[in-house]
Chains A and B, each alone.
Chain A
Amino acid sequence: MPLVEFHNYSMGFKDDDGNVSNLIDNLSFSIDEGKALGVVGESGCGKSMTSLSLMRLLPDAAVVQSGKILFDGKNVLEMSEKEMEVIRGNRLSMIFQEPMTSLNPVLTIGNQIGECLLLHHPDLAPDEIRARTIRSLESVGINNAEARLSQYPHEFSGGMRQRVMIAMAIINHPALLIADEPTTALDVTIQAQILDIMKGLKGDSGGLMMVTHNLGVVAEICEEVVVMYAGRAVERGTLKAIFDEPLHPYTIGLMSSIPTMTSDKSELPAIPGSVPTIYDFGKGCRFADRCSKCMERCMREVPKSLLVGKDHIVACWLYPEGEVV
């Protein structure tokens, strides 16, 4: 049984008049125990809303429209807030993008990490909490952890704060760790350090869901990839399938528009236009107006997600044949 399963999940946002505009449409994917899944796409594609849906931390204006999100076989969308509190930060935990704003500036690091532990294990002795906090900080490569427990967030650099966030997220040995752009705010040499730590953690943690716009980070860590565009999963499959034989024009466009250290200096094949906002989605394929291979059908009908190869699913009318999933 997969650890997490999104089943035709749809959500949207309510405006002041109560009208709901759909963002995430019919999203389905799963993460197996011990596997790392990358969710990639540009800003406004619904990546963060996907992870927040799973954590049940959606903003007030968000409305779940249909579908299921199964975690440990139970639908998180139907859980009570009490039940959620038990698994959130415990079986299910998340690293946020901004290490600068996600820590409380007036509490010591030791206090903040210890709180996560205490919340889920109220009968632990203070000594034990301290010992486990130190162990957790050491596991993310923070030297002199014992002394740093009594320090405040402002005494840590950006990379160090992100390590603290990771230490906090893994202290209860979560079954699934969600990382939302964990390295975006960091310098490349620090990013390399953090990726190294996350790769080390992969062995002993359960599943990992990596939400990022950086395809390099995905290639580094993940085994499976979901490419999202404007709230829909346009392509998903193994890392090899997506990176070596991308099929969807958006995936292909995204891959070729990034300058790499080995690319030549000819003009970059850029995708024209930009990601539409939630109010400008077309009736058919949401990528249609930016797609170089757009057909008449694409404007009218929403492409179905079809299985076109082994573990390779694509939603594009260019590939109309395959098993419906």
Chain B
Amino acid sequence: MEKGGPLLKVEHLTKLFPVKKTRFFEEQRHVHAVEDVSFELYEGETLGIVGESGSGKSTLARAILALTKVTSGTVIYRGEDITDFRVPPAKRKLLHSELQMIFQDPYASLNPKIKIGEAICEPMLANGQARNHDEAVKKTRHLLEIVGLRAECFDRFPHEFSGGQRQRIGIVRALAVNPRVLFCDESVSALDVSVQAQVLNLFNALKKEFNLTYVFIGHDLAVIRYISDRILVMYLGKVMEIARYDQLFSDRAHPYTKALVSAIPEPSTAARKERIILEGDIPSAVNPPEGCRFCQRCFMARPECFEVEPDFYEVEPGHFVRCPYMKGGE
């Protein structure tokens, strides 16, 4: 890997799911879950991926981590092609430990019959991160303390913990195998606001302590903006914008991002700006609109938008927008 290059590079990643045919001579149709997504992830940064439900955020993460087979495109990790983890078995083990995912639902992602300590030791041993069970237990107890759980928690079952504590356990389990990149899929969405703040702080603290790189997936733009350095906005399987967190308010931001920002009800009594209210719902990903994916709901749409798929333009340094009317100079 060349120095200063991206840690992870995703190129033209596409994932289509076939739709079950109802008639024999029907043309095969697909759900365009993720289409032509490219981005780079640099060591030590937090990349936020934001979008409404059905925009393909989770599928993107799953495709990168080889949890679902990609249709086309490549994933390059430290200069090496790891698409679908098609690498020698010895290497695969390393990949599984270096790229980890924390799932959305802390309730559903723990086995109710296994003590949490054992649930954490298991990946450590399977991955060769600990030589024997005793070492795994010792490491687990240490990690539990780091995330703010008492070491006694080792012998308890998942039902004995609250939502926030379970999310911490999910974090410990991911940390157990010494990851470099953590994919956090809606990791704080199920939590109450006061607990959400604790877990966000924990993510920031762990990032420093373990030199982690995060891909943080969520639907709450305010949370994503808080935790991320750069943000990738997805809509209907496509990347609409990649921006630094402070560029989201820019006049050059994508109309969809502008609408998202304006849709958030701010908890203050200050007079609010005129809100952009988008009409309708996110369209079906089976027959995505021709032209711009957002054209049907865009408040700035022009006739061309319905015909030609717009390119990705760099409107400011490091700020890419898939909308020709934001590039300025017209």
Minimum CB–CB distance from B284 to chain A (whole Å) comes to 10
The residue on A at minimum CB distance from B55 is A187
Residue B26 interfacial (CB < 8 Å): no
With known contacts A188-B221, A254-B193, A259-B225, A159–B201 Cβ distance under 8 A: no
Contacts of B259 in A (CB 8 A): 189
**B residues near A216, Cβ cutoff 8 Å:** 264-267
Taking CB atoms, residues of chain B closer than 8 Å to A214 are: 265, 267
A259 to B192, CA, bound (A): 13
Say yes or no: is B195 at the interface (Cβ < 8 Å to chain A). yes
B268 touches A219 (CB 8 A): yes
Question: Which one, A43, A159, A269, contacts B192 given CB within 8 A?
Answer: A43
Known: A196-B277, A261-B221, A267-B204. A188 touches B263 (CB 8 A): yes
- Give chain B nearest CB distance to A264 CB in angstroms: 9
Establish whether residues B265 and A219, one from each chain, have CB atoms under 8 Å apart when the complex forms. Answer: yes
In the complex, A267 Cα to B196 Cα: how many Å? 12
- Check if B68 is an interface residue, CB within 8 A of chain A: no
Asked if residues A187 and B265 are in contact (CB atoms below 8 Å), the reply is: no
Given contacts A220-B265, A261-B264, contact A192 B277 (CB under 8 A): yes
**Least Cβ distance of A217 to chain B in Å?**
5
Interface string of B155-167 (1 = CB under 8 A from A): 0000000111100
**A42 contacts the other chain (CB 8 A):** yes
B312 smallest CB distance to A (angstroms): 22
Chain A CB within 8 A of B236 CB: no
Q: Which residue of A lies closest to B220 (CB)?
A: A188
Q: Which residue of B lies closest to A221 (CB)?
A: B265
Residue A193 lies at the interface, judged by CB distance under 8 Å to chain B? yes
Which B203-240 residues sit within 8 Å CB-CB of chain A? 204, 219-223, 225-227
Interface size on A, as a range, is 35 or more
Is B204's CB under 8 angstroms from A261's CB? Answer: no
- The A-B contact count (CB < 8 A) is 124
B197 at the interface (CB under 8 A from A): yes
How near does chain B come to A138, taking the closest CB pair, in angstroms? 15
Minimum Cβ distance to chain A for residue B290 (Å): 22
- In the bound complex, residues from chain B placing their C-beta under 8 Å from that of A191 are 263, 265
B282 within 8 A of A: yes
Name the one of A157, A215, A269, A274 contacting B195, with C-beta atoms under 8 angstroms.
Answer: A274
A265 to B264, Cβ gap below 8 A? no
Say yes or no for A272: interface residue by CB 8 A criterion.
yes
Interface centre among B196, B204, B281 (most CB of A within 10 A): B281
- A190 contacts across to B, CB distance below 8 A: 52, 281
Which one of A17-25, A172-180, A237-245 is at the interface? A237-245
A253 in the interface (beta carbon within 8 A): yes
**Which residues of B, 35-69, contact A by the 8 Å Cβ criterion?**
52-53
Name the residue among A42, A190, A261, A263 with the largest chain B CB count within 10 angstroms.
A261
Decide: A270 near B266, CB < 8 A? Known: A189-B278, A263-B226.
Answer: no
Cβ of A160 under 8 Å from chain B: yes
Whether the Cβ atoms of A192 and B275 lie closer than 8 Å is yes
CA–CA, A274 and B259, complex, Å: 34
Cβ–Cβ < 8 Å partners of B268 in chain A:
219, 243, 260
Residues of A within 8 A of B195 (CB): 42, 270, 274
Apart from A257-B194, A263-B226: 13 A-B pairs, beta carbons within 8 A = A42-B194, A189-B52, A191-B265, A193-B277, A214-B267, A217-B265, A258-B267, A259-B197, A259-B200, A259-B226, A260-B267, A268-B226, A270-B197
Q: List 22 A-B contacts (CB under 8 A).
A: A42-B193, A187-B282, A189-B52, A189-B278, A192-B263, A193-B277, A195-B265, A216-B264, A216-B265, A219-B265, A219-B269, A244-B269, A253-B194, A259-B200, A259-B222, A261-B222, A261-B249, A261-B266, A263-B226, A268-B197, A271-B198, A275-B194
